[in-house]
Chain A
Amino acid sequence: MNPLPLDSTQPRRDFLKKLAAATTAAMMSRGGQLIASEAVVQPKATADAVIILWMAGGMAAPETFDPKRYQPYEKGAPMANVLSTFPAIDTNVDGIKICQGLERIAQVMDRATLIRSCVQPDLGSILHSRHQYHWHTGYVPPQTVAAPHLGAWMAKVLGPRNPVMPAFINIGQRLEGHGESEELKAFTTGGFFGSEFGPMNLPVPDEAAQSVRPPKGMDAGRFENRSALFRKLLDQNPQREIISDFQRESMLRSLENAHRLLSSKERAAFDISLEAKESQEAYGAGQFGQGCLLARRLVENGARFVEVTTEYIPFVHWDTHADGHATVERLHQEVDRPIAQLIRDLESRGLLDRTLVVVASEFSRDAMIEGVPNSTAGDQATVKGDTLESPKHYGLHRHFTGGTNVLMFGGGMKRGHLYGATAEERPLVAIKDPVSIPDLHATIFTAMGISPKTAFDIEGRPFYATIDGTGRAVRDLFA
């Protein structure tokens, strides 16, 4: 039995115990102080590492892990008939069917917990960046303070698993050069914890090795000589009076840490070209597959929190405003093989039990409904019409927040388990055991041994791992 935190009935003021004593003058120092409170019981961890596999742009549940009535493409067919554009296939778990195209994941379903009833708030206007911010920080933007990413919470509360390995690594997302890059940066951050707890960004898996290597054009010998020169000059620095200065020391410590990683054996983990050819191929040639392979290597070498994304670019990948069926068919191919392979690899290395893998997306999609039924959100489909007139009309082109899939593997979760359900006919909303983002986060935090009520004193007020400490771990998901 896992000692999950008790669902406290204590009102919020109890968490202010320590806080009330803190003067405002103590606030803001070095990214906040942990607020100790007897009401917060840190649970026993069932996982040591997390890998988030992020289906960026809105993964349609009826096209992936929650198949509904299949509507093949027929010119002239009413759009309202379209629920799923892929037929369902069996998995290796009785009673769980998923969409055609995900055959390899179907064969590891016996290691998975599948949640079909995740729900997102109706923000009145669908913006990927706002929902992504919400999913990654637990807080709906805007916020009066910079909310930290889930990975930053792990880095701050748990620290690195291996002292040389950055605790929070973010793979596959380019943060420059497209329409919403500023919005992505707003949550891809350590937030008020500070950049020490922010992500190490590895936008291109193939080039990850570069980020822990000497700069381009500098061989290892020259790199070492340069560092040696730095240290010799430091030793000769005549400013003796400041040798003991704490700020100076802490600056040198950071430089030393950085150098340690750049010259450590773990540095090889960043280089996927060192992987055997068969194993590289097993993950597929795509960027996401290579990212999954990189994530496995990093976790093997002690990374705490890794996110791998299919990459969010407006109107690209899972953001299917048009031509949904063809796009998702391609995406099935991109993600099916690497996800299944990652699970098998982690398992064969004995890592799956203590590594929580979470496949998630900011919301689902629907052919007809924008947001949820009766939402005021404006229609953003780029191909409209009541009937299927060409293949580009065929697919789920609107953003849907009423029933979203999350797939979890390992890390103390049940295996071959199905949780929650959505309606069989439109609207395909969660009709059983809805799971909110705070509760989903509470589940992830709890698995990692962090109470969802964990709070830090930020500008004199408590800031919780889940909003106002209200997230509740979904007990039924735990083995």
Chain B
Amino acid sequence: MPRFPLLFLLPCLAAVLPAAAVDFSHEVVPILKTHCAECHMGDKKKGGFSMNTREDLMEGSENGKVLIEGKGAESLLIQLITSADPDEQMPPKGARLTAAEVQTLTAWVDAGVPWTAGFAFKKGAYEPPLKPRRPVLPAATAGRENPVDRILDAHLAKQSRPVPAPLSDNAFFRRVHLDLVGLLPSPEQLTAFLADSSPGKRQQAIALLLNTPQPYAEHWLTFWNDLLRNDYAGTGYIDGGRQQISAWLYQALLENKPYDQFVRELVAPVEGSAGFGKGIKWRGQVSAGQLVPVQFAQSMGQTFLGINLKCASCHDSFIDRWKLDEAYGLAAVFSAEPLEIHRCDKPTGRQARAAWLFPELGEIDASQPPAERLKQLAALMTHPENGRFTRTIVNRLWHRLMGHGIVHPVDAMQSEPWSSDLLDFLATDLADHQYDLKRTLALICSSKAYQSVSEVLKEDADRNYTYAGPRSKRLTAEQFTDAIWQITGTAPRKFDAPVKRAGAAPGPEQALTAKWIWSGDQKTKAAASGETVSFRTRFHLAALPQTASAVLTCDNAFTLWLNQKEIARSDQWEKPVAVDLLDALRTGENEIVIVGTNGGQGPNLAGLWMQGQLRFADGSLNSLNSDPSWLWNSAVPNPNGLFTPDPGDWKPAVEVNGAAWQRINDSLQGLLMENANGGGPMVRASLMKSDFLMRALGRPNREQIVSMRPNDLTTLEAMDLNNGQILTTRLEAGARAILQKQAGAGSAALVSWLYAFAYSRTPSPAELALATEALGSPPTSAGLQDLLWALLVQPEFQMVR
């Protein structure tokens, strides 16, 4: 109902009575449309001022109220349309309002701004619904039962567009591995998958990948590190202005913490998760928009809700509906101190009051202490009726798997989805299944939509998106690095992330099974001070292991050679040494020589202890432990660990026991565990600090939240691929390692293996011929290195298609 119905009954008086009846529809609307629409109607809201609805109009601009009901002359709008100052007059250009028009508008304001109920100049910007919505699923067609397919098939049918063609087993297998665990499937896995004729094999592959916690966690760690701006080195860490959440995050991914709980712990921190909310505290003064509590508001908004509060933390946003006070309200939830609202870095004199963005769901009690407020915020953020919370994360997952968000870009959750049914379905499905993110991933990967060939993109593909199947993604820097490490077996042994890697618990492999040995029974006669003894063991290897490591110590000093190569020496028996034996091992006969020296004043207990482990490709283990089967000799070898001539006269070592040695058991155990981990699953790039190559391939500096990495390879990145030192060194070492392991396989077999690993397919006859020729026969290290390069920079490798 109009607010002043009486006046509308008397339109004829309008001309004669000031401040009297004004015909809103016929008099006011045309004036406003003519002079104001360009900047203040529809999705235009210059100066933060929209005239779309009466509410918008009365809300005013970033400068405050524009209209005062009943007081035309005092209203800013009337003042500006009559102002003579060209800097402030409205409209800023074009024809000015006539005196009669000014009079009409003044009268309209004087009359209390009457408005036709329900009238709007233009629909305002899209406002996403807050509450979750359960769309009715369309009927399945052609047996495509997955809800994602039911929605998308109907979506395509409505637009009379075809369903994308199905994906081959090879391409599916590569895609799903890279998408879910970030790794290439090995040629063996691929062969087994292709040979499997059971109809449920894709489903099984998805389940298997999602049910192996460690590879899953170490792949998604990259995604979350970007989104939670966590890293292992970077601005702020050194002086305590920033805290890692690595250990907490890793564990949460490993145990697939339900997403609502995951977020609650990031909002209201538990041990190890506070770093995200605390942001980066810079030394010295920072602008008001970057104070830690304001960073908190921005981070919470962006990461969990896809709401950009960066504009609104300085002034009312010009591009969406968020207000300065709302950004500060969220900041005040976090802030332990009273927080003064600053507008464009200038104090406003007003204190922020803890509040959150959607009071419809409940309020924050500003009188509570910060920890309690954060708990309330955590509950509101993950409130079952907060549909924006679940929509934001399922959209991010959809984007990672399908290459384009349902809302895109994924941080612009204020904009309209191309299929609200799809978005709403995935969101409610997540909530219905205990916020299990793996469930959403499985649901998407199981769909025929995911298992379709990628869309072939045109240059304008980012404008006016229409769904036409998945889009291919570029390998992330971490995926690219991992893939090279996988193929060449050159991953580092140690990693930077301060996390407890899965499998680190001491298992039977880490029991102390080696024996302390020396040259004679020390119960009857202690070793002389300075006594030097050589120990020797020999063993045969039919094949090289994948890893080979040992932990050793000698009371008091030792030097270790493997196949005449010095591996380690130490004269601090209380600090046992971990060594990598892999590089010096060879197929056939191997020899370990250790020269041990006793110390001390006068005769005392002496002993050597070494526990080693070789792990083979088939998973089998060989131990390499000091025990009485080792031989000893009083002769010492030359500096190369070689006896010239061999003294003959080797005698079996004797097991010895010293109570004093028990006290280093913990450190022996610790080193064995580290070795076991190093010998366990490959160290992943996500666990490493960034390096030049990863940076060149798009791993971001994580000072800001990153939700989408660039999909393009740039020229500078291509330069690094061409001649960067890291890649070159890696391929050199990789070529050597592959040749060592695949020696005797023959060039053609090696090419097929490479194609299977890198591309998950067999080479065409033409490719096989080219690549085999490049390798040389027998394959050379340089040939292999160059072929590896030529294969790894191909778009087919660098893309997840």
A interface with B by C-beta (< 8 Å): 9-11, 13-14, 16-17, 19-25, 27-31, 122-127, 129-130, 140-146, 166, 176, 179, 182-183, 185-186, 189, 194-196, 198, 200, 210-218, 222, 225-226, 229-230, 232-234, 236-239, 241-242, 244-248, 250-252, 254-255, 257-259, 261-262, 377, 459-461
* Contact call B790/A233, Cβ cutoff below 8 A: yes
A287 CA to B456 CA in the complex, in Å? 49
* Contact call B764/A238, Cβ cutoff below 8 A: yes
Q: A142-B703, A246-B459 are in contact. Are A216 and B774 (CB under 8 A)?
A: no
* Contact call A236/B287, Cβ cutoff below 8 A: no
Interface flag for B696 (CB, 8 Å): yes
Interface flag for B443 (CB, 8 Å): no
Q: Which residues of A contact B235 (CB under 8 A)?
A: 129, 182-183, 186
* One of B318, B453, B718 near A16 (C-beta < 8 A): B318
Interface flag for B461 (CB, 8 Å): yes
Q: Which residues of A contact B44 (CB under 8 A)?
A: 20-21
* One of A9, A130, A183, A225 near B284 (C-beta < 8 A): A130
* Contact call B290/A28, Cβ cutoff below 8 A: no
Q: Which residues of B contact A247 (CB under 8 A)?
A: 457, 472, 474, 711-712, 795, 799
Q: How many Å from the CB of A241 to the closest CB on chain B?
A: 7
Q: A196-B712, A229-B786 are in contact. Are A460 and B311 (CB under 8 A)?
A: yes
Q: A13-B47, A144-B310, A186-B701 are in contact. Are A262 and B713 (CB under 8 A)?
A: no
Contact sample, A vs B, 16 pairs, CB 8 Å cutoff: A13-B46, A14-B92, A146-B703, A185-B695, A186-B701, A186-B703, A211-B719, A229-B787, A242-B454, A250-B712, A251-B712, A251-B798, A254-B714, A257-B718, A459-B308, A461-B318
Interface flag for B429 (CB, 8 Å): no
* Contact call A246/B461, Cβ cutoff below 8 A: yes
* Contact call A25/B412, Cβ cutoff below 8 A: yes
* Contact call A195/B717, Cβ cutoff below 8 A: yes
Q: How many Å from the CB of B628 to the closest CB on chain A?
A: 48
* Contact call B39/A20, Cβ cutoff below 8 A: yes
A185 CA to B87 CA in the complex, in Å? 42
* Contact call B717/A28, Cβ cutoff below 8 A: no
A304 CA to B333 CA in the complex, in Å? 48
Interface flag for B142 (CB, 8 Å): no
Interface residues of B in 226-257 (CB under 8 A from A): 233-235, 237-238
Q: Mark B141-155, 1 if CB is under 8 A from A, else 0.
A: 000000000000000
Q: A144-B310, A247-B712 are in contact. Are A241 and B456 (CB under 8 A)?
A: yes
A212 CA to B87 CA in the complex, in Å? 54
* One of B411, B718, B767 near A255 (C-beta < 8 A): B718
Interface flag for B715 (CB, 8 Å): yes
Q: Which residues of B contact A242 (CB under 8 A)?
A: 454, 456, 472, 795, 801
Interface flag for B360 (CB, 8 Å): no
Q: Mark B10-47, 1 if CB is under 8 A from A, else 0.
A: 00000000000000000000000000000100011111
* Contact call B728/A182, Cβ cutoff below 8 A: no
* One of A176, A200, A214 near B723 (C-beta < 8 A): A214
B interface with A by C-beta (< 8 Å): 39, 43-47, 87, 92, 125, 233-235, 237-238, 280, 282-287, 289-290, 295, 298, 308, 310-311, 313, 318-320, 407-409, 411-412, 414-416, 453-454, 456-459, 461-462, 472, 474, 692, 695-696, 698, 700-701, 703-704, 708, 710-719, 721-725, 728, 732, 764, 766-767, 770-771, 774, 782, 786-787, 789-791, 793-796, 798-799, 801
* Contact call B704/A25, Cβ cutoff below 8 A: no
Q: How many Å from the CB of B575 to the closest CB on chain A?
A: 27
In the complex, how many residue pairs between chain A and chain B have their CB atoms under 8 Å apart? Answer: 245
Q: Which residues of A contact B793 (CB under 8 A)?
A: 230, 255
* Contact call A258/B718, Cβ cutoff below 8 A: yes
* One of B474, B714, B716, B728 near A216 (C-beta < 8 A): B728
A31 CA to B698 CA in the complex, in Å? 13
* Contact call B715/A262, Cβ cutoff below 8 A: no
A28 CA to B692 CA in the complex, in Å? 25
Q: How many Å from the CB of B283 to the closest CB on chain A?
A: 4
Most B CB within 10 A of own CB, among A16, A198, A250, A255: A255
Q: A21-B43, A244-B456, A254-B713 are in contact. Are A225 and B786 (CB under 8 A)?
A: yes
* Contact call B770/A232, Cβ cutoff below 8 A: yes
Give 20 A-B pairs besides A24-B414, A237-B794 with Cβ atoms closer than 8 angstroms.
Answer: A23-B43, A124-B284, A125-B285, A130-B283, A130-B284, A143-B290, A143-B704, A182-B238, A189-B701, A195-B717, A196-B715, A211-B723, A215-B722, A218-B728, A246-B459, A247-B472, A254-B718, A459-B310, A460-B308, A460-B319
Q: A233-B794, A254-B717 are in contact. Are A20 and B43 (CB under 8 A)?
A: yes
* Contact call A261/B704, Cβ cutoff below 8 A: no
A255 CA to B711 CA in the complex, in Å? 15
A140 CA to B282 CA in the complex, in Å? 11
* Contact call B708/A28, Cβ cutoff below 8 A: yes
A372 CA to B290 CA in the complex, in Å? 23
Q: Which residues of A contact B801 (CB under 8 A)?
A: 239, 242
A125 CA to B287 CA in the complex, in Å? 13
Chain A residue nearest in CB terms to B472? A247
A11 CA to B85 CA in the complex, in Å? 13
Q: Which residues of B contact A11 (CB under 8 A)?
A: 87
* One of A213, A233, A238 near B770 (C-beta < 8 A): A233
A13 CA to B80 CA in the complex, in Å? 15
Q: Which residues of B contact A125 (CB under 8 A)?
A: 283-285
Chain A residue nearest in CB terms to B722? A258
* One of B295, B703, B790 near A226 (C-beta < 8 A): B790
Chain B residue nearest in CB terms to A122? B285
A245 CA to B454 CA in the complex, in Å? 10
Q: How many Å from the CB of B447 to the closest CB on chain A?
A: 21
A35 CA to B319 CA in the complex, in Å? 14
A141 CA to B235 CA in the complex, in Å? 11
A16 CA to B39 CA in the complex, in Å? 10
A241 CA to B168 CA in the complex, in Å? 13
Chain B residue nearest in CB terms to A246? B457
Q: Which residues of A contact B764 (CB under 8 A)?
A: 236, 238
* Contact call A252/B308, Cβ cutoff below 8 A: no
* Contact call B795/A20, Cβ cutoff below 8 A: no
Q: Which residues of A contact B695 (CB under 8 A)?
A: 185
A374 CA to B456 CA in the complex, in Å? 63
* Contact call B409/A226, Cβ cutoff below 8 A: no
* Contact call A19/B318, Cβ cutoff below 8 A: yes
A45 CA to B283 CA in the complex, in Å? 39
Q: How many Å from the CB of A101 to the closest CB on chain B?
A: 32
* One of B407, B453, B722, B795 near A241 (C-beta < 8 A): B453
Q: Which residues of A contact B412 (CB under 8 A)?
A: 24-25, 27-28, 460
* Contact call A234/B794, Cβ cutoff below 8 A: yes
Q: A195-B710, A229-B786 are in contact. Are A142 and B282 (CB under 8 A)?
A: yes
Q: A144-B704, A195-B698, A229-B770 are in contact. Are A255 and B721 (CB under 8 A)?
A: yes
Chain B residue nearest in CB terms to A176? B692
Q: Which residues of A contact B280 (CB under 8 A)?
A: 142
Q: How many Å from the CB of A162 to the closest CB on chain B?
A: 13
* Contact call B289/A144, Cβ cutoff below 8 A: yes
Q: How many Å from the CB of B750 to the closest CB on chain A?
A: 15
Q: Which residues of B contact A9 (CB under 8 A)?
A: 87
A461 CA to B310 CA in the complex, in Å? 9
Q: Which residues of A contact B308 (CB under 8 A)?
A: 24, 459-460
* Contact call B290/A261, Cβ cutoff below 8 A: no
* Contact call B723/A144, Cβ cutoff below 8 A: no
A242 CA to B732 CA in the complex, in Å? 31
Chain A residue nearest in CB terms to B461? A246
* Contact call A262/B719, Cβ cutoff below 8 A: yes
Q: A28-B409, A195-B717 are in contact. Are A123 and B284 (CB under 8 A)?
A: yes
Q: A247-B474, A377-B284 are in contact. Are A182 and B796 (CB under 8 A)?
A: no
A437 CA to B599 CA in the complex, in Å? 67
Most B CB within 10 A of own CB, among A29, A142, A166, A213: A142
A49 CA to B45 CA in the complex, in Å? 40
* Contact call A251/B713, Cβ cutoff below 8 A: yes
